[in-house]
Amino acid sequence: MKKKLVSMLLAAVMVLSMTACSGKSPAEVSGTDTDDAKETSADASSSDGKKVGVAMPTQSSQRWIQDGDNMKKELEALGYEVDLQYAEDDVQQQVAQIENLINNGADCLVVASVDSSALVNALADAKANGIPVIAYDRLLMDTDAVSYYATFDNEGVGRIIGEYIEEKMELAKAAEEGKSYNIEFFMGSPDDNNAVFLDRGVMSVLKPYLDNGVLVCQSGQTEFSQTNTLRWSQETAQKRCEDILSGYYGDGEHLDIIASAFDGLSYGCSAALTGAGYAVGDQWPLITGQDAELMAVKNIISGSQTMSIFKDTRILAEKCVTMVQAVLEGKDPEINDESTYDNNKLVVPSYLCEPVAVDAENYEKELIDSDYYTEDELK
Ligand code: BGC
């Protein structure tokens, strides 16, 4: 009995000293993942003085500004010091920023990449310096230096866009009645894994209608290799839409649907449509989008965009912060997907937030009632 007591005490001392060395919770070190153990680690943890480097892709689109602000606010509220950097869609600038964050003593990095495969060396440096990395919204590809991934269900975003088009244009009924509609696709950046997933989601719903002739793509550009838009650029989308309109819609063909993967692309397409003589309200095409940017919601209200995808960046930041706490304080973050996001090196444990379609019918409920925007901002 006495011998058993001594060995139990010894085991407890070992777990405590391993905890002190590794920064992991007693539950993680001992493998006993009980609620009691989690509470103990929560009580004992401290974020004081720890630095979190947050690398965001660009300030050219509203969502990333909100993402950065939310992350900073939430992390600072927990006592972390935050260094927030924006790379303005410049890959080399982002690499330099990550190197700086490492050199300046970051304890953890949160990265929303410009080009998801271009950070392999910088992230290897982080790993070599014992700095854990969380992928924010965009998966970090080809690296084993990433611990967790907080994002939205990216294929789900595409599926919702496809289903919205299917429902609003009554494609199933059109098939029975022998009707057809012209559609063009404006997808995201080829160096962003999210864009690939989104395209897959859109096509999972719409491909059958392209196959049975209910949807007709006059340009013939339906493959992602043809429809992608490098860096999600509004200007590139506008130019491509202008070329498509002049090249394929000059002869009395009317463009009925624009499947756009991002609000910025939708603005570019709208400008191209106006330039080609289309007018809002008068057979203006159904135009989708993503991010529910303030400008997009105003456009939805005025009729130049039909819908967008609302991604509540407050929830994303909240989930990402639990991942930062997990790697720094040995807590358990909430994970709801352990199979989808293979980055070619590992399947990254992920939390997928839920995207929601917003249009003229539900934007008040989804965006104003949830305090995402005020009524005044939308005027
Ligand atoms: C994000 C989208 C965003 C796009 C362009 C993607 O990685 O998931 O929400 O619209 O980047 O910024």
The pLDDT > 90 percentage for the chain reads: 85
User: What local confidence, expressed as pLDDT, does residue 19 receive?
Assistant: 36
Separation of CA 153 and ligand 1 centre (Å): 12
Inform me whether the pLDDT recorded for 2 exceeds 60: no
User: What local confidence, expressed as pLDDT, does residue 33 receive?
Assistant: 37
Inform me whether the pLDDT recorded for 43 exceeds 80: no
232 lines ligand 1 (CB under 6 A): yes
Inform me whether the pLDDT recorded for 369 exceeds 60: yes
Shortest-distance atom of ligand 1 to CA 290: 10
User: What local confidence, expressed as pLDDT, does residue 308 receive?
Assistant: 98
User: What local confidence, expressed as pLDDT, does residue 250 receive?
Assistant: 85
User: What local confidence, expressed as pLDDT, does residue 159 receive?
Assistant: 98
User: What local confidence, expressed as pLDDT, does residue 9 receive?
Assistant: 41
Shortest-distance atom of ligand 1 to CA 194: 7
Inform me whether the pLDDT recorded for 275 exceeds 70: yes
Residue with tokens 């935050």: 82
User: What local confidence, expressed as pLDDT, does residue 71 receive?
Assistant: 98
Model confidence at 332, pLDDT cuts 50, 70, 90, reads: confident
Q: What is the mean pLDDT of residues 103-129?
A: 98
User: What local confidence, expressed as pLDDT, does residue 46 receive?
Assistant: 61
Angle separating helix axes 263-275 and 234-248, nearest 10 degrees: 40
Q: What are phi and psi of 268, to 5 degrees?
A: -60, -45
260 lines ligand 1 (CB under 6 A): no
288 lines ligand 1 (CB under 6 A): no
186 lines ligand 1 (CB under 6 A): no
Separation of CA 21 and ligand 1 centre (Å): 39
Residue pair 300/306 in contact (Cβ under 8 Å)? The answer is yes
| Number of neighbours of residue 21 by Cβ within 10 angstroms | 8
User: What local confidence, expressed as pLDDT, does residue 192 receive?
Assistant: 97
Inform me whether the pLDDT recorded for 34 exceeds 60: no
Ligand 1 pocket: which of 137, 141, 263 to mutate (most atoms within 8 A of CB): 137
Residue pair 151/111 in contact (Cβ under 8 Å)? The answer is no
293 lines ligand 1 (CB under 6 A): no
Residue having the nearest C-alpha atom to atom 6 of ligand 1 = 194
Inform me whether the pLDDT recorded for 379 exceeds 70: yes
